[in-house]
Homo-oligomer: A and B are copies of this chain.
Amino acid sequence: MKTYLDCIPCFLKQALWISRRTTDDEPKIKQILGEIGALIKTIPLNSSPPETGRLIYKKIREITGISDPLKDLKKKYTEIALGLYPFLKREIEKSDDRLLTAIRLSIAGNVIDFGASRGFELEKEIEEILKKEFAIFDYEKFKECFESADEVLYIGDNAGETVFDKILIEEMNKPVTYVVREQPVINDATYVDAVESGLDKVAKILSSGTDAPGVILETTGEEFKKVYNDAQFIISKGQGNYEALSEEKRPIFFLLKVKCPVIAKDIGVGDGDIILKKSF
C-alpha cells in the first residue's frame, strides 16, 4: 500500500504519542517532531507507510536513547492475553467451526495495537469479533490453500496478539514458521515477546530481519526472504504487514481488524471492519 497524504499528519501523531512514553522532556519531544517533520520532504508517496514508520522509530530511538519505548505495554498485554488463554480455548471447544473461531480470535488479538489507534477494550472486542460479520471473507480459499500446503508461514504483528496467534497455530496443526520483528518498533512482537507468549512451543520463530513495523521485503533478512519466496501458504497479521505486502502476488491471507480510515479506503471496507482477505 502506498503512503496516502492522510498518513503524514498521522506519522507525527504517532511519534508524539510514542515519544511521550519515553520522556516528559517537552523540548526533546519537540526536537523529535522537528526531525520527523523535516523527513516529510523525503518520503516518497509510493513508499509504504511502514517504511516511514521505520525511520520515525529510528529517530525516536536515537534522540531518546530508548530502544523499546513500549516494552512495559508489550509485557502487560502479553500477560493479559495469557490470562485469557483458557477462556479463549473454551471458545474454540464450544464452537461449531474450530478453525474459523481460531481465525476470529486471532483477529480479535489484532486490536492490541498502539500504532494506528490506541483505545480498545480487549474483552469487549473479543466478544464482538467472535460474532461480527467479515467485510471480506475468503475463507473457502483459505481452507483450500491451507489444506494443500505442507507448512505455514505466519507473519506476526503485535505482542499480546501473539497469544491469540498461538491459538490459531494450535488449531492448524501443521509446521509453522512464526515471523517476528528484528528490533522493537511500536508494540510489534520481537523474538522475546513471542517466547513469552509460548509461541516457541508451537512454531519455529524467525526474525523478519527488519525493524520496520511491517515486513517491507527489501529491508528483510536473507533467511526470511528465502522462507517467504518458498512459502505455499502465508498468513499476514495486522495493518503494518498489510501495508507492506498488499501488492504482492503471493498466496497471502491478510487477517486484521481495520483501525484506520486510510487502510479502510485502500481495502474498500469500513473502519472497524474485520477481514480475511486473499492477496490476489
A interface residue numbers (CB < 8 A to B): 5-6, 8-10, 12-13, 16, 20, 26-27, 29-31, 33-41, 45
Alpha-carbon distance A9/B18, docked complex (angstroms): 13
5 contacts between A and B (CB under 8 A): A8-B12, A9-B12, A30-B40, A31-B41, A37-B41
Known A9-B12, A16-B6, A26-B5: A41·B45 in contact at CB below 8 Å: no
User: What chain B residues lie within 8 Å of A35 (beta carbons)?
Assistant: 41
Do B40 and A34 have beta carbons less than 8 Å apart?
Answer: yes
| Bound-state Cα–Cα, A20 to B6, Å | 11
Q: B residues within 8 A CB of A30?
A: 5, 8, 40, 45
* 9 further contact pairs, Cβ within 8 A, besides A8-B33, A31-B41: A5-B26, A5-B29, A8-B37, A30-B40, A30-B45, A33-B40, A34-B40, A35-B41, A38-B41
Closest chain B CB from A47 CB (angstroms): 12
Are A9 and B13 neighbours in the complex by a CB distance under 8 Å? yes
Number of copies of this chain in the oligomer? 2
Of B26, B27, B37, the residue contacting A40 (CB under 8 A) is: B37
What B residues does A31 contact at CB under 8 A? 41
* A9 lies within 8 A of B16 (CB): yes
User: For residue A8, which residue of chain B has the nearest CB?
Assistant: B33
Cα distance A31–B20 when bound, in Å? 28
Q: Report the minimal beta-carbon distance from A39 to chain B, rounded to whole angstroms.
A: 7
Chain B, Cβ-Cβ closest to A10: B9
Q: How far is the CA of A8 from the CA of B16 in the complex (A)?
A: 9
Complex-state Cα separation, A160 to B9, whole angstroms? 28
Q: Determine how close the nearest CB of chain B comes to the CB of A11; give it in whole angstroms.
A: 8
CA distance A220 to B156 in the complex (A): 56
User: Measured between alpha carbons, how far is A13 from B262 in the docked complex, in Å?
Assistant: 14
Q: Who on chain B is nearest to A3 by CB? A: B30
Contacts of A45 in B (CB 8 A): 26-27, 30
Other-chain residue from B5, B6, B33, B38 in contact with A5 (beta carbon distance below 8 A): B33
* CB atoms of A16 and B5 under 8 A apart: yes
CA A126 – CA B235 in complex, angstroms? 51
Q: Closest CB of chain B to A232's CB: distance in Å?
A: 38
Task: Give the residue among A10, A33, A40 with the most B Cβ atoms within 10 A.
Answer: A40
Q: Given the complex, which residues of B lie within 8 Å of A36, measured CB to CB? A: 37, 40
9 shortest A-B CB distances, which residue pairs? Answer: A37-B40, A37-B37, A34-B41, A9-B12, A9-B13, A34-B40, A9-B9, A8-B33, A38-B38
